[in-house]
Structure 1
Amino acid sequence: MRLRTLLGDHPCTAALKNGSIRSDSITLDFADYSPTHKGFKPMVREQAFDVSEMAIVTYLMAKSFGKPMVLLPCVVMARSQHAFALYNASLGTLTPAGLNNKRVGIRSFTTTTGAWLRGILANDYGVDLDSIDWITFEDAHVAEFRDTTVRAPQGRQIVEMLIDGELDAVLGEKSDHPDLKPLFRGGEEKSWFAKHQVMPINHMVVISEALSARHPDVVREVFQLLQQSAADAPTASPQFSAEAMRRSLEMIIRYTAQQGLIPREFVVDELFDDLTRTLR
C-alpha cells in the first residue's frame, strides 16, 4: 500500500526519509512542502495525506470542527518556547508582565508556538491577552475558525515591523538583529520547566480516519516505522514517556481552550481512537 505522507526533516524522521528504514508492506510517498507547516492547511481542509505531521494546536482545532483525522502517539517536534519571543530594546525595556495593551505580532494567531507563549504569559505572568492588539500575517489552517485579529499591511514582514517600531513585541520568531532582544530573560525558561515539568509539544503525527478504520495493520506498521526512525537518532529526537506526553497535551489543551481556539477542553484520550490509543 502506498500512503501519501507529509513529514518534515527532523532527526526522528531522517531514517524514514532517507530510506534506511523501510517496510515490506507499505510505501510512504513523501510530499514536498517547505516549510513543512505549509502542508498542514491542505491536510486539514482537503485531507490531502494519509499520514501527516501536524501542529498540535492545528489538530485540536481541526478536531473541534470534526475533521476526519486521528492522532498517533508520536512526537516529532518539541522544544522550550521562551526563546521565540522578541522585543525592540531600542524603544526601551519590555518585560513579559509589561505586554498589556501592547502591539504584538505573530505569523498566525493559531500557531502552536503562539498558543504556548500566550499560555505562559497569561498563566505565569498575569498578562491580559485580551488587552493586546494582535497583528497577524496569515490565516488559520482551519478555515472555519473566525479570526478577529488585525491583519498586517500586505507585503510587510513581521520582524521588519518590530525593527521599525510598528510592533512592540513578536511571538514565534528569532532574529540576530542587534536591536531585538529576548522578551524572557535568562533563567526564566529553566524555572518554568522546574515548576511545571512539561516539555512543550509542537508537532505530532496524524492519520486519516479512513486509514485507521479500514487498515489497522497499516496504522500499526506506520507507528512502528516512526518509532524505529526515532530510535535511530535517540539523542536528538524528542523522547516522551506516556506520562510526559500526557502532561504536555493536557497543558496545551488547557491553553488552547483558554484562548478561545477550541470551544472546550478535550480529555487527552479523546485525541486518539480505539486503535491509536493502544499503540506503544
Structure 2
Amino acid sequence: MALLASQYGPYTNHFMSTLLPVTVACGDYDRTLALRTGEVRAEGVALNYLTLPVEETFFRMVSYREFDVAEMSLSTYVMMLGDDSETSPFVAIPVFPSRVFRHSGIYVNARSGIEAPDDLVGRVVGVPEYQITAAVWIRGLLAEHHGVPVDGVRYRTGGLHAPGRHEKVAVNPPPGVEIAAIPEDRTLADMLVTGEIDALYSARTPRPFAEGSPEVRHLFPRPHEAEAEYFRKTRIFPIMHVLALRRELYRAHPWLARSLMKAFGEAKVLAAADMDETAALRYMLPWLAEEVRRTREVMGEDYWPYGIRDNEHTLSAFLRYSHEQGLAQRSWEPRDLFAKECHGEVVV
C-alpha cells in the first residue's frame, strides 16, 4: 500500500532527505487529490505535483521533456513508441487519470442536414488535431458501430477557440484520408457556426454550444443514453490519458514505476470513498448519491480501474483503431505500452 503521510511520524525529515525528488504534471482531479495534499505519498519519492491545463502539459512534456512524469495523451504516447518501444523517450504506467465517453464530443451544424451518424459520410469535419485521443475514439466508434468509415469524411484541423493549432506529432494518414489545415486566422468553433465545416469532433465543448447557439447541436440528441448503451454493448469506457515517465529516469530508477502506480491507485480509492459520503456532500452535485448509484448499476462497482488486466479490452480496441487510422506504426498489445514492473496487478 502507498504510504500515508501520518506513517512518517517524527522521522519525516530523515525520510524526506533520502527520497527521490520527482515532479509530476497532472490534472486537478479528485482521484489525485490525496497525492497533491500529501495524504498519500509514493514509496521512496518526494513528490512535487503540478496542476496545469492538459494541453499545456502535453505540449511541454512532448516538446521539451520538462517534467519527470506527466499525464499524456494516449494517442500521442502510442505514436511516439514508433516501431520499437525501447527507443521511445517515455514509458507509461497503467494509471488513467482521464477517461471520457465520446458520443457527446460530436457536434454538428444545425443547418447541415445531418440527422444520423451515417449522414456524416462525405461531409467536412473539424478536429483540433487528427491524432488526438478523443478523435481516434470517435472515428473508431463511428466506423465500427455506425457505418462511417474513417476515410468517409474530410478532416480540417486547427484551433478550437484560438487560431494556429498544429499537430504535436507528425501524422502520416492512410491512403484516402484527406486532412487539411484551416486558415491560420480562423477557429473551428466559428467555422462550425457559419457552416464552413459540417461537424466537429472535440474533446472540449465548443463555446458556441456552451453558450446556447442555435447553430450548433450534438449529433446524438441524448448522448449520455447513447454512451450508456455503448458501454453495455462493448464494455468499453474510453481511456484518454496515461501517466508517462521520462525513459532515462525510469532506466535509472525502475522501481519508480510501481511505486507511482501504487500511490495513484491508493489516491483513487480514497476519492471513490469520498463519493459515498452523504452526511455532507463532498461535491457540488445535489443528486450525487443517485448519480453514483446509476453509474454503478450500468458500469459496476470499480468503473474506473487502473492496471492492465481490467483494461485490456479497452486498450486493445484503441490500439486497433490507432493502427487502422494510420497513427500507430505497428499493431501493439496492451502490455507493450507499460513498464514491465507494472505488468502484475497492484493491490491497494
Structure 1 length normalisation: TM-score?
0.90
Aligned length: 278
* Residue 182 (structure 1) aligns with: 218
RMSD over aligned Cα atoms: 2.2
Percent same amino acid at aligned positions? 26
Query: 1:1-280, aligned counterparts within 5 Å?
Result: 1-23=20-42, 25-31=44-50, 33=52, 35-64=53-82, 66-137=87-158, 138-142=165-169, 144-146=170-172, 149-172=179-202, 173-174=204-205, 175-176=209-210, 177-186=213-222, 187-234=225-272, 235=275, 239-240=304-305, 242-280=308-346
Partners of 1:55 and 1:202 within 8 A in 2: yes
- CA separation in 2, counterparts of 1:39 and 1:134? 25
Partners of 2:109 and 2:199 within 8 A in 1: yes
Q: CA deviation at 1:226?
A: 1.0
Q: CA deviation at 1:50?
A: 1.6
* Over 6 Å off, 4+ runs: none
The residue identity in structure 1 corresponding to 2:168 is: H
Partners of 1:101 and 1:131 within 8 A in 2: yes
Partners of 2:111 and 2:195 within 8 A in 1: no
Q: CA deviation at 1:203?
A: 1.0
Residues 116 and 104 of structure 1: CA distance in aligned 2, closer, same or farther (over 3 Å): same
- Deviation string for 1:28-64 (max 9, x for gaps)? 223453x222221332233322211111111111112
- CA separation in 2, counterparts of 1:233 and 1:30? 17
- CA separation in 1, counterparts of 2:134 and 2:336? 22
The residue identity in structure 2 corresponding to 1:204 is: V
- SS of 1:6's partner is strand
Partners of 1:108 and 1:136 within 8 A in 2: yes
Q: CA deviation at 1:20?
A: 3.0
Residues 260 and 23 of structure 1: CA distance in aligned 2, closer, same or farther (over 3 Å): closer
- SS of 2:31's partner is coil
The residue identity in structure 1 corresponding to 2:215 is: D
The residue identity in structure 2 corresponding to 1:56 is: L
Residues 63 and 24 of structure 1: CA distance in aligned 2, closer, same or farther (over 3 Å): closer
Structure whose alpha-carbon radius of gyration is higher: 2
- CA separation in 2, counterparts of 1:238 and 1:36? 23
Q: CA deviation at 1:245?
A: 1.0
Q: Which stretches in structure 2 are left out of the alignment for 5+ residues?
A: 1-19, 159-164, 276-291, 293-301
Structure 2 length normalisation: TM-score?
0.74
- SS of 1:135's partner is strand
The residue identity in structure 2 corresponding to 1:95 is: A
Select the structure with the greater relative contact order (CA < 8 A; seq sep ≥ 6): 1
